Structure 1
């Protein structure tokens, strides 16, 4: 009897419900993981993305159910809900950004625009690899090591580089006094060197032929910031090799500019 009386006490009931919710969340996550392990309906990245999203959703739902249960012991929820239309409207207005985040998050997920581990550029200035996908925001690990968090409602532009290929596009800005003919010969040499040394990074077709080799694109922009002209080199590489390939091409450009005494563009504020 004492044992039964103990279970009727509100704090014990709340504790038991909390443990039950935790167990239910664990079992749901475990079931989803087992389902993905036993099937091959989706690709690995898609499965990993859905697992991360499921963890966030189950956590939020678990907390919501727990708070509803706790409040039900102190308030008449039926009367509270039916008699609080104005309050509910005000809350909806206050929480509109959060609701918008949830809707946009679901849109990004189910339209398969993003996956866990994708390399993305957000709003044109933040770039890195997606480390966490929640129901309200994205977290990307930038190359400087910082973890950048952005809510879905604040994303105005999203570029996803994980489509199997990326285009390396590196350039030198040379002084407008630099002879273009001399620069052309040097840049053509850099493109050839990159193809010889870093050909394994290039994206290839079914016959093993590069889809787009490293090539010199001549002058791609004149009078950049009133300092000089832009000479660029590009090539189509495998997405996984994009970062490394970009580093290699930049190195070759810097080394060639040094060896050939190319006149680099200088800031207008440079004093002599």
Structure 2
């Protein structure tokens, strides 16, 4: 059997096309990597993010081209996609969400709103470090170790803490029966203690003056889960010190609540 005849056999053709696609994807990724290595107009973190995204795109496009090639040997693709109104409608509905994810992902990426390793808060209730940036979703590694996956189209609010500054915002939820005047006095003392003990964590201006010291923000929320009121304390700290500063502030709040017998809010279902 001649080489031409062997090539015409479907399995050989499919394997050959698969290898060509893999080689093409490799060349594209290698070219992008060489381009970033030879240039310096983007910072390293930005380059890594774009490279990671490019890897995802080339992988997806390679798979799409491969499946289209394989299907073309078994189906007449033109009739398959145009002959059924129901299938076309279903595909349009599916692709509507997918395309929206892609567009929003590109927007977040090219507007420099996110990078690999950024600490983000998603929709106000999920927070962690960006571990993977895909074409359609983000993988967020939370502090409890769980990996949270969120599609771009489901993101209604994104807060990025990696901008050189972070605001520590900790609070106590106290019972309705707690006298606010007593609680105010304790919280003011905690803010003063934090400024004295942990002032090195605070973000400072060019003159060495804290941009925003630890301060008591009074009652920031009433009727929290029908349990009590939230008394909050905040301070603007350096990004690198955010986690440690948060731990210190929480400790001081817990110690102050213990020493001053503050009445912590409890669940209505708690039985004694």
Q: Same fold (TM over 0.5)?
A: yes
In the alignment, which residue of structure 2 is the partner of 1:93?
Answer: 93
Which runs of 5 or more residues in structure 1 are unaligned? none
CA distance in 2, matches of 1:267, 1:29: 54
In the alignment, which residue of structure 1 is the partner of 2:250?
Answer: 250
- Alpha carbons 2:141, 2:148 under 8 Å: kept: yes
Say if 2:191 is the partner of 1:191.
Answer: yes
Distance 1:93 1:259, change over 3 A: closer
Answer with 51-60 or 97-106: which moved more: 97-106
SS at match of 2:191: helix
Distance 1:15 1:257, change over 3 A: same
SS at match of 1:230: strand
Distance 1:203 1:9, change over 3 A: same
In the alignment, which residue of structure 2 is the partner of 1:28?
Answer: 28
SS at match of 2:150: strand
Aligned residues: 271
Q: Shift in Å at residue 252 of structure 1?
A: 0.8
Say if 2:234 is the partner of 1:234.
Answer: yes
In the alignment, which residue of structure 2 is the partner of 1:10?
Answer: 10
In the alignment, which residue of structure 1 is the partner of 2:116?
Answer: 116
Q: Shift in Å at residue 145 of structure 1?
A: 1.2
SS at match of 1:60: helix
Q: Shift in Å at residue 187 of structure 1?
A: 2.3
SS at match of 2:138: strand
SS at match of 1:135: coil
SS at match of 1:95: helix
Q: Shift in Å at residue 236 of structure 1?
A: 0.5
Distance 1:19 1:233, change over 3 A: same
CA distance in 1, matches of 2:177, 2:93: 60
CA distance in 1, matches of 2:181, 2:29: 63
SS at match of 1:171: strand
Which runs of 5 or more residues in structure 2 are unaligned? none
Distance 1:194 1:43, change over 3 A: same
In the alignment, which residue of structure 1 is the partner of 2:131?
Answer: 131
Q: Shift in Å at residue 102 of structure 1?
A: 1.9
Distance 1:33 1:198, change over 3 A: farther
User: After superposition, what is the alpha-carbon deviation per residue over 1:199-242, rounded to whole angstroms, capped at 9, x for unaligned?
Assistant: 22211212222111111223434554554443321100123322
Task: Return the TM-score normalized by structure 2.
Answer: 0.86
Distance 1:10 1:179, change over 3 A: closer
CA distance in 1, matches of 2:89, 2:224: 53
Distance 1:263 1:71, change over 3 A: closer
- Alpha carbons 2:81, 2:88 under 8 Å: kept: no
CA distance in 1, matches of 2:226, 2:139: 37
Task: Return the TM-score normalized by structure 1.
Answer: 0.86
Distance 1:179 1:83, change over 3 A: closer
SS at match of 1:236: strand
Residue correspondence of structure 1 range 156-171 to structure 2 within 5 A: 156-171=156-171
Say if 2:254 is the partner of 1:265.
Answer: no
Distance 1:176 1:10, change over 3 A: closer
- Alpha carbons 2:131, 2:140 under 8 Å: kept: yes
User: After superposition, what is the alpha-carbon deviation per residue over 1:96-119, rounded to whole angstroms, capped at 9, x for unaligned?
Assistant: 222222222222222222222222
